[in-house]
Amino acid sequence: MTINTGASTRIHIGPRLTADLPKDRTAALTQLKGLTYVEIGEVESIGDYGDTINDVTFSSLASGRARHLKGLADAGTCELSIGFDAGDAGQLAVVAAFMDRSRFDYPIKVVYVDGQTDYFAAKVMSNKKTGITVEGVLKRTVSLGINSEIYESPAA
């Protein structure tokens, strides 16, 4: 395996989940792989995503040393910069997911040029039009609030 650029990376959104993902990692990945996704067109960039674990510290009087424990895991939010296309099926699905106020997440699939695929569950937390200038491309900026771990699936 070698390094690659982000060129040819694709991001997709699936139908709203009707239940939480299974706790078992293999079962969750199997469920996510079995869904039908629509590609979000004209994506310019995909922001950072992935877990950060909070540092929980404990200071013992006897030892005089702080100890570090792992606390809450948070995959954070991922910003998408998208060239605005009002007729793109993927962008329309993103807007529908933004408007949806249910408690359930939407599955997201990111496919890299080498075939490696990441899956996660998220809510669309923002949908803004940006880049409104005389010579700028009108864009949609979307924020995905990630509510699951990132399930990495190697290329077949």
Taking only the tens place, the pLDDT of each residue in 51-65 is 999 999 999 999 999
The per-residue pLDDT of the chain, averaged, comes to 96
In angstroms, the CA 4 to CA 113 distance is 8
Fill in the DSSP letter of residue 29: H
CB 107 within 8 A of CB 34: no
Residue with tokens 């299974």: 22
The pTM (predicted TM-score) of the whole model is: 0.92
CA distances from 5 to 9, 53, 110 (A): 9, 27, 14
Query: Percent of the chain scored above 70 by pLDDT?
Result: 99
pLDDT at 156 over 80: no
- Which SS3 state, helix, strand or coil, does residue 52 take? strand
19 falls in which pLDDT band (50, 70, 90)?
Answer: very high
Give the per-residue pLDDT at 62: 93
Query: Percent of the chain scored above 90 by pLDDT?
Result: 94
pLDDT at 1 over 70: no
Taking only the tens place, the pLDDT of each residue in 60-102 is 999 999 999 999 999 999 999 999 999 999 999 999 999 999 9
In angstroms, the CA 52 to CA 4 distance is 24
The mean pLDDT value for 47-51 works out to: 96
Residue that wins the pLDDT comparison between 131 and 83? 83
Give the per-residue pLDDT at 2: 84
CATH number of 10-153: 4.10.410
